[in-house]
Structure 1
Amino acid sequence: MGPADLEKLVEGLNLYKDPNTLVGVGDDAGAYKVGESILLQTVDFITPVVNDPYLWGAISTVNSLSDIYAMGGIPLTALAVVGFNSCDLSVDVLKEVLRGCSDKLREAKTVLLGGHTIDDKEPKFGLAVTGIAPGGKFLTQSGARAGNLLYVSKPIGTGVLVKALKEGRISQGDMEEALSWMLKLNDLVGSIAWEFATACTDVTGFGLLGHAYNIARKSGVAIYINYSSVPKYEESEHLVKEKIFPKGATENLNFVKDHLKADGVDVYKLILLSDPVTSGGLLFTVPESSEREMLERAKELCVELWKIGRVLEPGAYPIGHIVVDG
């Protein structure tokens, strides 16, 4: 499904809302007011991305928590969502998955309250997460403004590497750099975004272009991205040039192509920008006037950030357009 498909799916449904419903379907997480607090809720799960069940559980946990961090929130509790066939896999495998999950939840200071398991031929693991908006403030994808700068906090290309790993073209050892990033919580960068960003989302299955498009169309702006400024795994770029990439990358690119201006940009670059990411970083916009203070805060917290583009002035391109060069 593309970035806007879920919204189209529920369009016309008589969904119940009450005055406490602050954000519904279509953003990284829902937001609901309870007394003086604002709760954030999300759910996500993935199939195995590596051969090690412990790492899969840990990566899936980081991935699930990211939607809360993308709203500038703090995760509080989680419920496990498990698809598993004990006839094909040992229960010990699932225990390792849960051990990886447990270690990351402890790092995130998030309580596992329970969960649900179903029999499933294809293993799946993830979390439904509830968090809180600190100070009653949260971020959405709809706050980007003309002149804002566009930043991202992790490299792209994990989908390409996972595809190559599953096909035996690379080993898990070739993914050490990517694994270290996939295991990195977005908590610190989320706190930076909460303080300085105007709009924010996490880079996951729709690829960098798909998530940038989400910000652009919801904010009523157009966005410029410089490919050469985007952090990417060197091996993933080589693999894409050899036409090794997941089907999802092509589907993501096809979804945004009518909203894309990329004259003279090599197709392999657009494919990599569309690569479905697992446990990616945060993509956010920030006023240029706040950039210096934001970067100082990032340095204090040892958070790496890459400036990859900007929000364009109104009228330069149609709303929702993504302009790519490099």
Structure 2
Amino acid sequence: MNASAPSNPSAAPRLTSLSHGGGCGCKIAPGVLSQILAQSGAAALVPPELLVGLETADDAAVYRLNDSQALVATTDFFMPIVDDPYEFGRIAATNALSDVYAMGGKPIMALALVAMPVNQLPLETIGAILRGGQDVCRAAGIPVAGGHTIDSVEPIYGLVALGLVHPDRVRRNAGARPGDVLILGKPLGVGVYSAALKKEQLDEAHYRELIASTTRLNTPGPLLAELDGMHAITDVTGFGLAGHALEMARGAGVAVHIDWARVPLLPGVEQLAAQGFVTGASARNWAGYGADVQLAAGLPATAQALVSDPQTSGGLLVACASEAVGDVLAVFEREGFEHAAVVGSVQAGPAHLALR
């Protein structure tokens, strides 16, 4: 079967043909988003219970409920990255729950966000999308307790995800310290795969890799948050590894160095990128933050496209003390993240990213 074909092609158009973008590649470009937020009005109300808000573009908001509990709240939704409706639902739900895990929290429930072109998609297709999301939430041990639906021009699905974390165990994207080691939990290349899929050039083996990566829940998050020496956690999504590493650098006022040779990549991604299978979001990402990235001489020609490649349901990026590296990698391994790897370090200096 062609990897790009829907599960029931006679009943519905290809999901990806109904949207102008897919997955986290749908995100508004970082430079444009910064301008929008700057013009969004008066300063937000910040009660003392709000432990994490807008200030460092973190993965979720965190609100202290009492001395032992804080509420983690986030939402994420996007247009199809694959044509199989069930897999689209699984990917979108996994991606949404990732933000809870990235704060060190454990999900407790979700609400579904559903916008569908009901005159173009069979009800069975829409139902399969929702079933995929429900199955992921079931695997995470939480209910889909409600939601909201609208008739839309393009298919959109995602979740409001809620979780709990001890206030002392919240792990922000802004806690990195000079001397820390950077570890990435999943290989890069989801955007490249999706670009090849949309042009019907992704083979079955690579399609299976795409599904496996994007539907693997980032369950190491709360386990990592309990470790001594764990200073910062974020997840790598639509802005690519470079964009989210820069958020980490800016939030902490440090320099982030990434050793490109150590960054794990999905199979065949370098070859696909060299053949031109890159997303428009990669170029938009680079236009938004490339001025703050130093590219060393001698890097592969594809490095820029891959470090800015938008990841849908990407891996956790963590900054920890050097003595905690073994424990961190052990947590990733126990949770099934066999490709987790040390990819760089944190150093003192002006906030920027150096790729070497």
TM-score tier by shorter-chain length is over 0.9
**Which of 64, 68, 72 does residue 33 from structure 1 map onto?**
64
For residue 241 of structure 1, report the CA deviation from its aligned partner: 0.7
In 2, Cα distance between equivalents of 1:165 and 1:283: 26
Superposed, which structure 2 residues align to 1:14-163 within 5 Å? 14-25=43-54, 26-36=57-67, 37-134=69-166, 136-163=168-195
Correspondence 1:146-295 to 2 at 5 A: 146-195=178-227, 196-264=229-297, 265-295=299-329
The runs of 4+ residues in structure 1 deviating greater than 6 Å are none
How many angstroms apart in 2 are the aligned matches of 1:188 and 1:210? 22
For 1:148, the aligned partner's letter is: D
Task: For residue 8 of structure 1, report the CA deviation from its aligned partner.
Answer: 5.1
Post-superposition Cα deviations, 1:78-121, rounded to whole Å, max 9, x if no partner, equal 11111101100001111111111111101101221111111111
Measured at CA, do residues 152 and 190 of structure 1 come closer, stay the same or move farther in structure 2, by a change above 3 Å?
farther
Deviations 1:158-190 (A, max 9, x none): 111111111112245531122111111001344
With 74-83 and 13-22 compared, the bigger mean Cα shift is at 13-22
CA distance in 1, matches of 2:209, 2:36: 37
Residue type at the aligned position of 1:169: Q
CA contact (8 A) 1:50 1:172 kept: no
1:251: how far off? 1.1
- Say if 1:263 and 1:14 are closer, same or farther in 2 by CA, change over 3 A: closer
In the alignment, the residues of structure 1 paired with residue 47 and residue 157 of structure 2 have an alpha-carbon distance, to the nearest angstrom, of 32
SS at match of 1:68: helix
Give the AA of the match of 2:209: E
The answer to whether residue 337 in structure 2 is matched with residue 306 in structure 1 is: no
Letter in 2 for 1:310: S
Q: How many corresponding residue pairs? A: 321
Which range moves more in the overlay, 149-158 or 35-44? 35-44
2:31–2:288 Cα contact (<8 Å) kept: no
Given that 1:152 and 1:306 are in contact with CA atoms closer than 8 Å, whether structure 2 keeps it comes out as yes
| TM-score, normalising length: structure 2 | 0.85
| In 1: Cα distance, 2:248 partner to 2:226 partner | 16
| SS of structure 1 residue aligned to 2:191 | helix
The 10-residue stretch of structure 1 (63-72 or 251-260) with the greater mean CA deviation from structure 2: 251-260
Indicate conservation of the 8 Å contact 2:223/2:331, yes or no: no
- Range with bigger deviation, 266-275 or 132-141: 132-141
- Offset at residue 277 of structure 1 (A): 0.6
- Where do 5+ consecutive residues of structure 2 fail to align? 1-27
Q: Write the distance in 2 (CA, Å) between the matches of 1:218 and 1:251.
A: 22
**Superimposed CA distance per residue, residues 251-302 of structure 1 (whole angstroms, 9 cap, x where no aligned partner):** 1122221111113124421111110011111001010021223334444444
Q: Structure 1 residue 135: deviation in Å?
A: 6.0
The root-mean-square deviation of aligned C-alpha atoms, in Å, is 1.8
Q: Is contact 2:112–2:146 with CA below 8 Å preserved after alignment? A: yes
Q: 2:317 corresponds to which letter in structure 1?
A: L
Alpha carbons 1:139, 1:194 under 8 Å: kept: no
| Letter matched to residue 261 of structure 2 | S
State how far apart, in whole Å, the 2-side matches of 1:210 and 1:311 are. Answer: 15
Hey, what's the Cα distance between the residues in 2 that align with 1:97 and 1:302? Answer: 25
Q: Is the 8 Å Cα contact of residues 240 and 310 (structure 2) preserved in structure 1?
A: yes
Going from structure 1 to structure 2, the CA distance change for 1:82 and 1:194 (only over 3 Å counts) comes to farther
- SS at 2:302 equivalent: helix
Q: CA deviation at 1:234?
A: 2.8
Q: Is contact 1:138–1:194 with CA below 8 Å preserved after alignment?
A: no
Q: State which drifts further: 157-166 or 295-304.
A: 295-304
Helix, strand or coil: the match of 2:268?
helix
Q: Displacement of 1:236 after TM fit?
A: 1.8
In the aligned structure 2, how far is the partner of 1:2 from the partner of 1:216?
Answer: 19
Alignment gaps of 5+ in structure 1 = none
* CA–CA separation in structure 2 for the residues paired with 1:183 and 1:204: 13
